[in-house]
Amino acid sequence: MIRAKPDVEALSPYVAPLEGRRSLLRLDFNESTVGPSPNVVEAIRSLPPDAYATYPEYAGLDEAFAATLGVTAKHVEAFNGVDAAIRAIFDAYGEQGGTFLTTVPTFGYYEPCAQQQGMVIDEVPYLDDLKYPLADVIRRLEARPRLFFICNPNNPTGTLMTPPAIVALARSAPETLVVVDELYAAFTGQSVVPAALELPNVVALQSLSKAAGIAALRLGFAIGHPSLLERLRRVTGPYDINTFAVVAGKAALADPDHTRRYVAEVLSARTWTLGELERLGVRCSAEGGNYMLVWPPGDLAAVVQALRDRGILVRSMARKPVIDGSFRLTIGTEAHMRRFMTAFSAVIGREVHA
Ligand SMILES: Cc1ncc(COP(=O)(O)O)c(C=O)c1O
């Protein structure tokens, strides 16, 4: 067998249990539980055969997204999902032996991207109460890492930093590229944009996967200084985003009320779910995003499996530092959360009395 380059041979890939989920209630990957605006489906349906045969065109896409942020299109660059933006950031700015500063636990795709570049990974654990390890991060930034990621709110802990605190960190580290992964900004209403656009060392990442409901189509955006975005363009292919994503993205952005209504529904379902879990005396944590961590009584694996047996998927956080023993629960509509709570109380009732 021909060996890949040493950094690739050594890396542990991002593996997610993504198969066989379609017929189940998917509360495991923070997707929308209702899907996109009907306009998206209509826009895709009405594409003529010619659209399938032609390479994609991108005019108007960055503009449409930029308009939702109140910034100009030169500050925005579309990618084949935020995952592809993350990959491009490491391709363009990662370097052999350079330091990648991050927190742990956090989104699982950063680490393999850093490993592929042969970077040294400096992971700072969240505090036991899941607060951001600010003092430690400030100290580590003094060593001028090449790249620093803040996932805000952090997936999976929900930890949320204020935009001014993040901007202050970025100002203190002008030689570090600071990436603010704001995948769940629609649910928190908090973003470093536009404040961070003045800084030449900050890139924010946002996506239409979650609140806008088009995870399958893959469309995400990097927002930042035009010179940074130009470097990211250099390492991406000319047609990495397909026509369906472009068409769906424009249709989704043209119906902001659909996203707004869904976000409001999720936030109200979150309050309801937290109340119910509290009533059951179950530890949980839900600071940011359309997800929360739940520490079920009894055996975690057995609870996750029992929920699956009842048609509900949640994501086990077994053996993850700081949050071992919990599962991550996506928050959907109230109807979905009622279905979850009915199953969960039955499961832990059985667990507790076993
Ligand atoms: C924090 C975070 N960043 C990035 C992504 C990837 O987003 P996208 O679907 O836009 O590639 C996810 C997806 O779960 C995420 O949770």
For residue range 67-100, list pLDDT tens digits in order.
999 999 999 999 999 999 999 999 999 999 999 9
How far apart are alpha carbons 55 and 53 in whole angstroms? 7
181 close to ligand 1 (CB < 6 Angstrom): yes
State the virtual CA torsion across 19, 24, 214, 159 in degrees, nearest 10: -90
CB atoms < 10 A from the CB of 59, how many? Answer: 7
pLDDT of amino acid 351: 44
Residues of the chain with pLDDT under 70: 350-354
CB atoms < 10 A from the CB of 258, how many? Answer: 22
pLDDT of amino acid 229: 97
User: Is the domain 38-255 a CATH 3.30.390.50 member?
Assistant: no
Give the mutation target among 18, 83, 187, 315 for probing the ligand 1 site: most ligand atoms within 8 A of CB: 83
Report which ligand 1 atom has the smallest distance to the Cα of 215: 9
Location of each CATH 3.40.640.10 domain in the chain? 38-255
245 close to ligand 1 (CB < 6 Angstrom): no
How far apart are alpha carbons 98 and 109 in whole angstroms? 18
118 CA → ligand 1 middle, Å: 22
User: pTM higher than 0.85, yes or no?
Assistant: yes
287 CA → ligand 1 middle, Å: 18
pLDDT of amino acid 352: 39
345 CA → ligand 1 middle, Å: 30
Angle at which helix 82-93 crosses helix 226-234, to 10 degrees, equals 90
DSSP-based three-state secondary structure for 149: strand
85 CA → ligand 1 middle, Å: 10
* CB-based burial label for 23 (10 Å; 0-12, 13-18, 19+): exposed
DSSP 8-state code for residue 154:
P
Location of each CATH 3.90.1150.10 domain in the chain? 6-32+257-353
Report which ligand 1 atom has the smallest distance to the Cα of 207: 10
149 close to ligand 1 (CB < 6 Angstrom): no
114 close to ligand 1 (CB < 6 Angstrom): no
Give the mutation target among 154, 183, 241, 331 for probing the ligand 1 site: most ligand atoms within 8 A of CB: 183
Give the mutation target among 77, 79, 107 for probing the ligand 1 site: most ligand atoms within 8 A of CB: 107
How far apart are alpha carbons 201 and 219 in whole angstroms? 23
36 close to ligand 1 (CB < 6 Angstrom): no
80 close to ligand 1 (CB < 6 Angstrom): no
**What class has domain 6-32+257-353?**
alpha beta
C-alpha to C-alpha distances, 316 to 139, 308, 322, nearest whole angstrom = 32, 11, 13
Report which ligand 1 atom has the smallest distance to the Cα of 210: 9
Q: Judge whether 203 and 177 are in contact, CB under 8 Å.
A: yes
83 close to ligand 1 (CB < 6 Angstrom): yes
Residue nearest to atom 12 of ligand 1 (CA): 183
How far apart are alpha carbons 328 and 156 in whole angstroms? 7
151 close to ligand 1 (CB < 6 Angstrom): yes
268 CA → ligand 1 middle, Å: 23
Report which ligand 1 atom has the smallest distance to the Cα of 107: 1
pLDDT of amino acid 27: 97
Q: Which residue, among 293, 292, 276, has the nearest Cα to 345 in the 3D structure?
A: 276
193 CA → ligand 1 middle, Å: 18
pLDDT of amino acid 15: 77
